Amino acid sequence: MRKLLLALTLLMPPAALAVAPGALAPDVKAPQLRQPGQVLALKSLRGNVVYVDFWASWCVPCRLSMPTLDTLYRKYGERGFRVVGVNKDVAGDDIDRFLNRVNVTFILLADKDDAIAKAFDVQAMPSGYLVDRKGIVRFVHHGFTELTARDLAKEIEGLLKDPA
């Protein structure tokens, strides 16, 4: 029976290994897009409620999610809410064109080697991971709609009420 369980575990699809609610957020580091030479470690944001958002210039729902996330960041930032946008583009020109149309004020990271996406096992774009003050993933969102935005605002408010 143990051999069968081991075999089934090894044969599980990669999506089964994705970061899920209740898991500790991966401790990843990446260069910041807007501050050359600066690297951000996700762990350095512990004590805050953090939304890690994976986006790309070619991602149509990202055109809705990015401004919405910026609005949430500006609304809740003083209470300890942070947004970290992880970019999946390869070409810098694509990033620049997108950000010229969709300007945001939150932290943006480059993930050209896919290290962060692999650590979270991102399966869809956009994907977002809402992390509590202790570094635990509490909610995961795949895709982005107006309903996602409403749910996310409620989730953020709930997590901000917990002091730590």
Complete domains list, the chain, with CATH: 21-161 (3.40.30.10)
At 63-105, the pLDDT tens digits run 899 999 999 999 999 999 999 999 998 777 888 899 899 989 9
Grade residue 55 by pLDDT with cuts at 50, 70 and 90: very high
Q: What is the pTM of this model?
A: 0.87
User: Dihedrals φ, ψ of 73, to 5°?
Assistant: -60, -45
Q: Is the pLDDT of residue 15 over 80?
A: no
Mean pLDDT of 118-125: 93
